[in-house]
Amino acid sequence: MKKVIRFVLDILLIACIVMSVFFGYKVYQRYREDRNNKETYQKIQTYAKKDIDWNKLRKINPDIVGWIKIKDTKINYPVVKGKTNRTYLHTDFNKKYNYGGCIFLDYHDHKDLNKNQHSIIYGHHMKNGTMFAKLLKFREESFLKKHHVIILYTPKKTMHLKVISAYAVKAQDQMPITFANEMQKKEYITKIRRMSEPSIKLDDKKIDRIYTFVTCSYERDDNRTYVHAVEE
């Protein structure tokens, strides 16, 4: 009987060691990916310190369509557009595998953001605070009062976008890319403004384009944070 018990205990010990090694490797793998992701974008950011060098960035990745920057956050990244919304989900700007992937434009949108009625831009919410993690700050009234502007650069222009709504809900499978008419667009704007967690004033003027930024939220399963903005 003692031999059986000892055998069972030995098996359990071995199983515990194997599991510890496995999870330890997973933790190390994620740490290494986070480090590589950080180093990749630190190098890319040298091409956008003052003026963005679009030619150099295109040589690295011709899928670049813009650059996003938000003051007092780590959000300072190139924006790409893939053939599908999975292309850059876990592929970095150098087109190498990385869990953090890229900040990317919805593949239904035109690569020239000026031609879109509604540009939708996605990014991961990384637990180390990189990529679109700080997007959640826009749901805080205190943060929004000081940082209501998102800067979006394209090869043609620089846009200062005013946030008009920020909230978290279950992932929306379909968001309109185009609107049949001005009334439909106004109805959509009214809808997203009602959903906003912080109260945001909006001037009564015609809105040509809507820009939506999306990342994961961890309050509930399959939750997303949505930040909607328009040109100032």
Q: Which residues are marked as active site? A: 216
Cβ-Cβ contacts under 8 Å for 202 (sequence gap 6 or more): 164, 193
State the DSSP H helix or E strand holding residue 35, giving kind and residue range, or none if neither.
Answer: helix 2-44
CB atoms within 10 A of CB 160: 12
**Rounded Cα distance, 188 and 185, in Å:** 5
Helix (H, G, I), strand (E, B) or coil at 67: strand
- Strands 118-122, 149-153: pairing is unpaired
